[in-house]
């Protein structure tokens, strides 16, 4: 028996060495992530191996999202035109607010093929009741199609109410497609939406498990929230579908989030993103190009916008690059709201430099965790910026889930990407980058209203934290690259 135990120990050590070699020489990860996984492998020698198999393997599937119909929309030609026009300083900007940020627009054009649209009408929601009432109203008035994608879709009171509307529209002949993430919506299966499919609706799950309880792509999730109605109305932002997003969960209380309702030409790239995601997940119901999905849209407003997406299938971290560019551009202030603040060193350095350069950096985080290690890693990173002069606010009126940055009352972004390694590297995300003084000012005012519902965390108070909190921070900081 002793001999068998000894052989098992030796085999485990050998296996760990092989995995370590693979991590260092084959995976080609960044050094911080490599060290974090090495710690897991050597301090949890047996279970660490299985954790790595489930969560650690890199996504090998490049070019996941392909759609032949994309060339028929005209977006690619428009992108080429906009890149050339910015290079030659001939692009027609309808507002000075937009023209002022052409270097950032150029970044997203080259980095993400994110076309600039300048005719959008945008409505901001910071409350779940208002957002879902507006969404349900728009769903009820759909005439041709509904494309409905959420990371979390629960069939609780809110979910069933929305499902009833979707079924009703399918019965009327509206083409309804529902896409949900298999892990985010765990417990939900296609069979639970059979009433919708029985009436002509279509349902797909993103990266589903190949075997029960086994999902080799467990760590790579589609965190996007997209709704497109008739190719004319779109929604994107932080709210998922579930009663907790209406503030009905006693653990979290009121749910503070931000979501956008969009009308205008930004619907074309938003629709394209949904179709790419849908066709990747679809087993036999791929969407072919049709003009009905990309109707001519009359000018609705004057908000400039780019729809930017990112994911582990890409070489670069496009949304993080956009966040960093916003920090570099800032002259007066940077307002950040995020439920998780676990950035890499480049992001922390950029904010620290902004603070030391006299920019008013304000960061708002929740007062309660929905993931314990993530919360203490957030707390650890906040301490570094407090020392540099950042102002930090702990939101006390429930749970803060919004992913929002505002710079200088002119530039802002709202979407699904948190400020953490998971959103930057592992999840499939989507954000709207907004070049508009009025909308950015509106988002800044919401931030300032939230300050009244928050407690400021000073550097002096942070230094008084207990020894136990310091231990939790230290452990979480070590694991932060893989959280």
More confident of the two residues 409 and 42: 409
274-283, 446-455, 469-478 — which is least confidently predicted? 469-478
- Does the pLDDT of residue 365 top 60, yes or no? yes
Q: Mean per-residue pLDDT for 309-338?
A: 95
**Residue 223 catalytic?**
yes
What percent of the chain lies above the pLDDT cut of 90?
Answer: 64
**Residue 286 catalytic?**
no
68-82, 193-207, 367-381, 426-440 — which is least confidently predicted? 367-381
**Residue 387 catalytic?**
no
User: How many Å from the N-terminal Cα to the C-terminal Cα in the chain?
Assistant: 38
**Residue 320 catalytic?**
no
Report the alpha-carbon distance of residue 222 to residue 440 in Å, rounded.
27
Q: Say what the pLDDT of residue 243 is.
A: 97
Q: Mean per-residue pLDDT for 16-33?
A: 58
Q: Say what the pLDDT of residue 41 is.
A: 62
- Over its C-alpha atoms, the chain yields an Rg (Å, rounded) of 23
**Residue 401 catalytic?**
yes
* Residue 320 binned pLDDT confidence (cut-offs 50, 70, 90): very high
Distance of CA 443 to the CA centre of its chain: 18
Q: Cα torsion at 248, 453, 362, 33 (round to 10°)?
A: -30
* Residue 373 binned pLDDT confidence (cut-offs 50, 70, 90): low
Q: Say what the pLDDT of residue 75 is.
A: 79
Residue of 182, 230, 277, 450 marked active site: 230
- Does the pLDDT of residue 244 top 60, yes or no? yes
**Residue 100 catalytic?**
no
Q: Say what the pLDDT of residue 382 is.
A: 85
Report the alpha-carbon distance of residue 161 to residue 55 in Å, rounded.
34
Q: Say what the pLDDT of residue 342 is.
A: 87
51-60, 144-153, 160-169, 374-383 — which is least confidently predicted? 51-60
Q: Say what the pLDDT of residue 464 is.
A: 84
Residue of 113, 259, 391, 403 marked active site: 403
Distance of CA 235 to the CA centre of its chain: 14
* Residue 28 binned pLDDT confidence (cut-offs 50, 70, 90): low
- Does the pLDDT of residue 94 top 80, yes or no? yes
Are 267 and 231 contacting, i.e. CB atoms less than 8 angstroms apart?
Answer: yes
Residue of 131, 147, 225, 439 marked active site: 225
Q: Say what the pLDDT of residue 463 is.
A: 86
- Does the pLDDT of residue 46 top 70, yes or no? no
Report the alpha-carbon distance of residue 111 to residue 105 in Å, rounded.
10
* Residue 423 binned pLDDT confidence (cut-offs 50, 70, 90): very high
Residue of 108, 113, 147, 223 marked active site: 223
Q: Mean per-residue pLDDT for 263-292?
A: 93
Q: Mean per-residue pLDDT for 179-204?
A: 95
Greatest mean pLDDT range, 51-55, 264-268, 312-316, 479-483: 264-268
Q: Say what the pLDDT of residue 222 is.
A: 95
Q: What are the DSSP calls for 292-343, one per residue? A: GGS--------EEEEEEEE-TTSSS-HHHHHHHHHHHH-SSEEEEE-S-EE-
Burial (CB count <10 Å: 0-12, 13-18, 19+), residue 477: middle
Residue of 113, 147, 325, 401 marked active site: 401
Q: Say what the pLDDT of residue 207 is.
A: 86
Q: Say what the pLDDT of residue 67 is.
A: 56
Residue of 277, 408, 409, 436 marked active site: 408
Distance of CA 151 to the CA centre of its chain: 10
Q: Say what the pLDDT of residue 435 is.
A: 97
Are 150 and 242 contacting, i.e. CB atoms less than 8 angstroms apart?
Answer: no
More confident of the two residues 363 and 51: 363
Q: Say what the pLDDT of residue 461 is.
A: 87
Q: Say what the pLDDT of residue 283 is.
A: 79
């Amino acid at each position: 028996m002793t001999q068998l135990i000894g052989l098992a120990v030796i085999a485990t050590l050998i296996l760990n060495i092989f995995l370590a070699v693979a991590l260092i020489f084959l995976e080609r990860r960044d050094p911080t992530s490599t060290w974090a996984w090495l710690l897991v492998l050597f301090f949890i020698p047996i279970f660490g191996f299985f954790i790595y198999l489930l969560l650690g393997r890199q996504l090998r599937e490049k070019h996941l999202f392909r759609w032949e119909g994309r060339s028929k929309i005209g977006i690619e030609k428009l992108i080429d035109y906009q890149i050339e026009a910015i290079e030659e300083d001939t692009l027609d900007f309808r507002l000075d607010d937009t023209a002022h940020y052409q270097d950032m627009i150029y970044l997203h054009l080259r980095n993400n093929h994110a076309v600039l649209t300048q005719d959008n009408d945008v409505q901001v929601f910071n409350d779940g009741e208002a957002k879902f009432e507006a969404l349900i109203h728009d769903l009820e008035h759909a005439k041709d199609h509904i494309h409905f994608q959420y990371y979390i879709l629960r069939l609780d009171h809110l979910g069933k109410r929305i499902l009833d509307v979707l079924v009703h529209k399918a019965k009327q002949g509206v083409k309804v497609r529902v896409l949900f993430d298999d892990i985010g919506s765990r417990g939900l299966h296609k069979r639970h939406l059979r009433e919708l499919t029985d009436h002509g609706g279509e349902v797909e799950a993103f990266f589903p498990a190949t075997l029960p309880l086994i999902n080799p792509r467990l760590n790579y999730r589609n965190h996007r929230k997209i709704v497109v109605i008739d190719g004319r109305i779109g929604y994107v932002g932080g709210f998922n579908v579930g009663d907790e997003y209406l503030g009905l969960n006693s653990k979290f209380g009121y749910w503070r989030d931000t979501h956008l309702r969009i009308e205008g030409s930004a619907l074309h790239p938003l629709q394209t993103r949904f179709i790419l995601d849908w066709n990747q997940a679809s087993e036999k119901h791929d969407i072919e190009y049709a003009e009905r999905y990309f109707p001519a849209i009359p000018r609705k407003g004057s908000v400039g916008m780019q729809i930017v997406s990112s994911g582990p299938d890409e070489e670069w971290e496009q949304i993080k690059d956009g966040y960093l560019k916003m920090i570099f551009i800032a002259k007066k202030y940077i307002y950040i709201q995020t439920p998780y603040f676990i950035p890499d060193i480049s992001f922390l350095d950029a904010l620290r430099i902004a603070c030391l350069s006299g920019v008013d950096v304000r960061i708002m985080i929740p007062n309660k965790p929905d993931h314990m290690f993530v919360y203490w890693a957030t707390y650890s990173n906040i301490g570094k910026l407090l020392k540099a002069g950042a102002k930090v606010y702990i939101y006390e009126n429930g749970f803060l889930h919004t992913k929002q940055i505002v710079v200088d009352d002119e530039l802002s972004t709202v979407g699904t990407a948190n400020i953490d390694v998971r959103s930057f590297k592992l999840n499939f995300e989507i954000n709207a980058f907004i070049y508009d003084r009025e909308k950015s000012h509106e988002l800044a005012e919401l931030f300032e209203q939230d300050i009244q519902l928050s407690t400021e965390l000073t550097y002096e108070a942070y230094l008084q934290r207990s020894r136990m909190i310091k231990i939790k921070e230290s452990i979480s900081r070590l694991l932060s690259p893989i959280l």
